[in-house]
Amino acid sequence: MEHFYLSLLLLFVSFVSLSLFTLFYKHRAHFTGPNLPPGKTGYPMIGESLEFLSTGWKGHPEKFIFDRMTRFSSEIFKTSLLGQPAAVFCGAACNKFLFSNENKLVVAWWPESVNKIFPSSNQTNSNEEARKMRKLLPQFFKPEALHRYIGIMDTIAQRHFSSSWENNKEVTVFPLAKSLEDPTHIARFADPFNALASGIISIPIDLPGTPFNRGIKASNFIRKELLKIIKQRRTDLGEGKASPTQDILSHMLLATDENGQHMTELDIADKILGLLIGGHDTASAACTFIVKYLAELPHIYDGVYNEQMEIAKSKEPGELLNWDDIQKMRYSWNVACEVLRLAPPLQGAFREAINDFIFNGFSIPKGWKLYWSANSTHKSPAYFPEPEKFDPSRFEGSGPAPYTFVPFGGGPRMCPGKEYARLEILVFMHNLVKRFKWEKVIPDEKIVVDPMPIPAKGLPVRLYPRN
C-alpha cells in the first residue's frame, strides 16, 4: 500500500515538473532567434503583464515604457504581455512604421480577452468585427451629420448641466461626465462598464474574482440590458414611433449586408457595447481631465472662459451652438489637446506581425504582438520640451511634429470617432465654463489608469456658479 501512495506521489510530482518544464520551454522558445530586440520576458504565461498593468494602477503607465527604454533600447524592446510575446515600439519613427504598415506587415490585434468578453465576436473575430464597424461608422461621421449633431450635443449638455450640476455646491465629476449622453441609461451601467473596461486589458484568467471574470460578467449584464433597448426600438420602428435615421441603433436594425442579411440583435448589442466602450468612456475621461486641469490652472481657465464667452455673447437667447462657433474655439481645442497629451484616454494599442520582418536591425517574428504607446512620445522631452508642463501653445501654428501627438492613433486604424469626440469635448467645455468656476475638493487626488485614466475618488469639485 505504502508503495502505491509513493508511486502516486512520484507520478504527481513528475507531472507537475513536466508541465512547468513545458511551460518554461515554450516561453523561452518564443524568444530564441537571432537579433531579437533587447528586453526582459518575465515569467511563463504572465510575462511582464503585472508590471505593465501595475504601473498604470499606480498612475504612471509611462514608467513601464520609460524604464525599459532607458535600460534596453530607446526605440524597441521585447517583453511578454497578456500571454503573448511582444515588442513595444517607442517614438515617432516607430509610430510611423506601425501606422504605415497596416495590412502590409502588421494588422490590428486585440487581446484574447476581447473575444471572450464579446462572445458574439467568436463567430468571426474581433478584427473582422472592427472591419465591419469601420464600414458602418462613416455615414454617422460624415461632415453633414457631424454638423447636425452639434445642436443635439448642446441640448443634451444643457440638460445635463441643469439636472446634475446646477443647484449643487459639490459634484463628483467622473460619474457625471460619464452620464453626459443619457443620464438614465448610462448611470445604471456605470459600474459594469468600469469592470468591463478593466477586464479587456487584464490577464485572461477566468476564475471567480479575477478582473477578467468580472469583465465577462459585466459584459453579460450590459448586453442583456442593451438587448431590451434594442427590442424596444424594433417595436417602436415598426409602430412608427422611432425614426429610421434617428441614430446608429435604428440604422443597425434596418441595414443589410452584401448578402441582404440583417444584423442579429446580439451582434448589434456587441457593436453598441464596443462604441460605448471605445467612444463614451474615452470622451468622458478626456472631459474629466479637462475639469481637473482647469481647476489647477486658473490662467488656462481664464483663457478658455474668455474665448467661450465671446461665442456665448454672440448668440441669441436660446440659440444652439453651430459649426461656425466650433471653428472659433481654437484656444479651447489647444487646451483639450494638451489634456489628451498628458492624460491620453487610450494608452496605446496592439498590432500583430503578419510576416517575419526586420526593423531597425532587429528581427520581429511573425505572430509577435507589437504595442505602440502614446506616452512614449507624449511624455518624451525630445518631442515635447518640459513634458510635464501644461502648455497649450504647443498646438499653435503647425503644432507637434508628425507621429508625436497620437491620442487617436494614426494610419488606417486611426480613431474614426475623432471628429465626433472633438465636438463633444468642445460643447462640454463651452457649457461648463459658461456656468461655473470650481476647485478640487482633494488637492492631491491620485490618478489610476485601469485601463483609462481616472482620478481615484472620481474628482469631487466645489462649484461656484458664474452668475
Closer of 27 and 280 to ligand HEM (Cβ): 280
Closer of 128 and 302 to ligand HEM (Cβ): 128
Contact string 362-391 vs ligand HEM (x = CB under 6 A): ------------------------------
Is residue 283 close enough to count as binding ligand HEM by CB under 6 A? yes
CB of 173 to ligand HEM, least distance (A): 16
Selected from 421, 423, 429, 433, the binder of ligand HEM by CB under 6 A is 421
Question: What gap in Å lies between CA 281 and CA 194, rounded to an integer?
Answer: 9
Closer of 409 and 458 to ligand HEM (Cβ): 409
Q: Which three cell numbers stand for residue 228?
A: 431590451
Select from 278, 263, 261, 281 the least CA-distant residue to 120. 263
In the complex, which residue's CB is closest to ligand HEM?
Answer: 417
Selected from 39, 47, 387, 409, the binder of ligand HEM by CB under 6 A is 409
Q: Where are the alpha helices (DSSP H) in 58-182?
A: 62-71, 92-100, 112-117, 126-136, 143-160, 173-178
Select from 362, 368, 347 the least CA-distant residue to 106. 368
Closer of 134 and 330 to ligand HEM (Cβ): 134
Asked if 153 and 423 touch (Cβ cutoff 8 Å), the reply is yes
CB of 44 to ligand HEM, least distance (A): 27
CB of 145 to ligand HEM, least distance (A): 12
SS3 120: helix
Pick out residues in 234-263 that bind ligand HEM (CB under 6 A): none
Buried b (16+ CB within 10 A) or exposed e, 16-32: eeeeeeeeeeebeebbe
Is residue 186 close enough to count as binding ligand HEM by CB under 6 A? no
Selected from 420, 428, 436, 438, the binder of ligand HEM by CB under 6 A is 420
Closer of 46 and 76 to ligand HEM (Cβ): 76
Selected from 86, 114, 203, 346, the binder of ligand HEM by CB under 6 A is 346
Is residue 354 close enough to count as binding ligand HEM by CB under 6 A? no
Selected from 42, 44, 59, 416, the binder of ligand HEM by CB under 6 A is 416
Is residue 407 close enough to count as binding ligand HEM by CB under 6 A? yes
Pick out residues in 105-144 that bind ligand HEM (CB under 6 A): 108, 130, 133-134
Q: Write the CB contacts of 87 (distance below 8 Å, at least 6 apart in sequence).
A: 37, 39, 76, 77, 78, 79, 362, 364, 368, 369, 370, 371
CB of 431 to ligand HEM, least distance (A): 17
Is 415 within any annotated ligand binding site?
A: yes
CB of 390 to ligand HEM, least distance (A): 18
Is residue 417 close enough to count as binding ligand HEM by CB under 6 A? yes
Selected from 212, 305, 405, 408, the binder of ligand HEM by CB under 6 A is 408
Select from 310, 299, 301, 317 the least CA-distant residue to 464. 301
CB of 116 to ligand HEM, least distance (A): 18
Closer of 46 and 343 to ligand HEM (Cβ): 343
Select from 358, 369, 352, 359 the least CA-distant residue to 107. 352
Is residue 91 close enough to count as binding ligand HEM by CB under 6 A? no
Asked if 325 and 311 touch (Cβ cutoff 8 Å), the reply is yes
Asked if 429 and 304 touch (Cβ cutoff 8 Å), the reply is yes
* Total number of residues that touch ligand HEM (CB under 6 A): 22
- Among 73-81, 117-125, 156-164, 344-352, which window interacts with ligand HEM (CB under 6 A)? 344-352
Q: Write the CB contacts of 155 (distance below 8 Å, at least 6 apart in sequence).
A: 320
- Supply the DSSP string of 249-272, one letter for each residue: HHHHHH-B-TTSPBPPHHHHHHHH
Task: Report DSSP state, residue 47.
Answer: B
Question: What gap in Å lies between CA 425 and CA 408, rounded to an integer?
Answer: 14
216 phi, psi to nearest 5 deg: -65, -45
Is residue 44 close enough to count as binding ligand HEM by CB under 6 A? no
Q: How many CA atoms lie within 13 A of 369 on its CB side?
A: 18
Select from 83, 124, 129 the least CA-distant residue to 108. 129
Residues that bind ligand HEM (CB under 6 A): 108, 130, 133-134, 275, 278-279, 282-283, 286, 345-346, 349, 407-409, 413, 415-417, 420-421
Binding site for heme: residue ranges? 415
Binding residues: 415
